[in-house]
């Protein structure tokens, strides 16, 4: 069940960043643990934009991404006491949003195709990395958004989030070969998309 309440509007609009009592993140986290609303607002303001981008990499529908954003921040605030403080807080927050997105995809069977991909041929020619490297970040994200849910998820987890294929296999409940195969196919599809994009630009 995802949060559909007016969570994004729950913070008082009169609270501005410059009015926060402190700006040090460690102090903000402690204030958030103590239930201070201004601290929750400070964390939301600091990470909302980046975490919305994370959600949009896993789901292409903006309204669904906003629901995931709400749900993710609810988890951040309810679990913030578990943050050990030994790692980077931004990374801890990011993992919550990645997990939240994966839970949504699994709940809606969006990753079901992952369990069937073992039947596919594994002989793929390696995509041309130089072609992919020529793309801007925005163009790359647009191409990634057009991948199917399964391919897009594995590509995001491996190429962007930095998880290993063994970790991805465990996260998605598939075997490691499946993760590698999906990633290879995703890159091959992206290469074709990018080559088509370049050809279209050349015609103009």
For position 70, which CATH number holds? 1.10.1740.10
Answer with the one of 107, 125, 140 that is the final residue of a domain. Answer: 107
Q: Which residue in this structure is represented by tokens 């939301």? A: 44
Contact present, 183 and 158 (Cβ < 8 Å): yes
Task: Tell whether 71 and 138 lie within a shared domain.
Answer: no
Q: What is the pLDDT of residue 84?
A: 87
Domain boundary among 57, 87, 107: 107
pTM to 2 decimal places: 0.77
130 and 181: one domain? Answer: yes
Crossing angle between the packed helical segments 165-172 and 89-107, to the nearest 10 degrees: 50
61, 124: one domain: no
Confidence band of 130 (pLDDT split at 50, 70, 90): low
Give the pLDDT band (50/70/90) at residue 48. very high
State whether 100 and 122 are in the same domain.
Answer: no
pLDDT given for residue 87 in this prediction: 86
Domain count, the chain: 2
* ∠ Cα 25 158 181 (to 5°): 165
102 and 36 in a common domain: yes
3-class secondary structure, 174:
coil
- CB-count burial class (<10 Å; 0-12, 13-18, 19+) for 161: middle
Looking at the structure, do residues 126 and 175 belong to the same domain, yes or no? yes
- Domain membership of residue 56 as a residue range: 7-107
Report the residue count for the chain.
204
In a domain? residue 144: yes
From 63, 86, 107, the end of a domain falls on 107
Check residue 30 and give its pLDDT.
94
pLDDT band at 197 (very low <50, low <70, confident <90, very high): confident
| Residues 86 and 39 reside in one and the same domain | yes
**Does 15 map to a domain?**
yes
Distance CA 69, CA 156 (A): 17
CATH number at 165 reads: 1.10.10.10
**Domain-located, residue 2:** no
122 and 83 co-located in one domain: no
């Amino acid at each position: 069940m995802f949060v559909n309440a007016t969570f994004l509007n729950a913070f008082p609009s009169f609270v501005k960043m410059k009015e926060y009592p402190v700006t040090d993140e460690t102090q903000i986290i402690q204030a958030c643990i103590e239930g201070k609303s201004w601290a929750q607002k400070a964390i939301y303001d600091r990470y909302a934009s980046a975490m919305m981008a994370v959600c949009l990499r896993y789901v292409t529908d903006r309204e669904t991404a906003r629901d995931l954003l709400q749900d993710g921040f609810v988890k951040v605030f309810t679990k913030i006491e578990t943050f050990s403080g030994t790692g980077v807080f931004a990374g801890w927050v990011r993992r919550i949003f990645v997990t939240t997105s994966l839970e949504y995809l699994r709940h809606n069977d969006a990753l079901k195709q992952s369990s069937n991909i073992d039947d596919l041929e594994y002989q793929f020619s390696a995509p041309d990395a130089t072609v992919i490297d020529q793309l801007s970040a925005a163009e790359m994200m647009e191409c990634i958004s057009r991948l199917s849910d399964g391919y897009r998820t594995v590509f995001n987890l491996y190429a962007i989030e930095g998880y290993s294929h063994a970790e991805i296999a465990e996260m998605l409940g598939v075997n490691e070969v499946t993760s590698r195969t999906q990633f290879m196919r995703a890159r091959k599809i992206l290469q074709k998309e990018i080559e088509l994009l370049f050809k279209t630009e050349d015609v103009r």
